[in-house]
Structure 1
């Protein structure tokens, strides 16, 4: 099940992944603006996705996080597929580090193609940009 989620749940998952609650304000803003969706299983949050439309007026997914203990169970795909169904634009972009092989596979399985890269964000680990056009999809 996909639904809006509360701040404490999002911060707890993010803290488990990155070891800090430093993005709490970022998450609060995304939740307040209805740009954060979560995937729930048995009344517990398994992961969340944040989106915006600040990337050249296209949809951009800057963050998809699934609890480490719940990865490889289809939750990231559920989040992406739900977002595709509600996306405010027909062009959707996202990105991941070159080293994140699992996320590359998630994007490919969900119909995204590589669209470029950005150097110098994380030293020695370029950010790979992914793209999907949903204009002609039904």
Structure 2
């Protein structure tokens, strides 16, 4: 596995592994925007992009992991944990936030395993499935 900064050349690979693109065609534009505006990391397996993460600093001036996506074929193989570990190392000593739907048990377990704690809830984004906010800080 290799983790590196993503570039615009990675756009087709990110679109290919993103599970939301098939239901929402605007997601491809969103991924392109992320690549142009924010820090994006990719995890490669045998030279192919298998996961990505998007980080920005627009959450009350703090770092926020906007997206962590692992391709269907590579889920539960450690790529998500590796990306989180890299982000945590890059943002050591800073406040770091992320969120996920309360129903997303695998992501919630991963975040808790990496030392994130629940920080709050946002209602009404996805009706009936609140967004759970998580916080991590390495002192």
1:125 Cα shift?
0.3
SS state of the match for residue 26, structure 2? coil
Cα pair distance change 1:26/1:102, threshold 3 Å: same
1:23 Cα shift?
2.0
Q: Deviations over 1:1-26 (max 9, x none)?
A: 10123111111111xx1214422232
Cα distance between partner residues in 2 of 1:113 and 1:39:
24
**Superposition pairs for residues 69-84 of structure 1, below 5 Å?**
69-84=73-88
TM-score by structure 2 length? 0.89
Runs of 4+ in structure 1 off by over 4 angstroms are none
1:29 Cα shift?
2.8
Report the counterpart of residue 4 of structure 2 in structure 1.
Answer: 3
1:59 matched to 2:60: no
TM-score by structure 1 length? 0.90
Consecutive unaligned residues of structure 1, counting only runs of 5 or more, are none
**Superposition pairs for residues 96-107 of structure 1, below 5 Å?**
96-107=100-111
Cα distance between partner residues in 2 of 1:39 and 1:82:
10
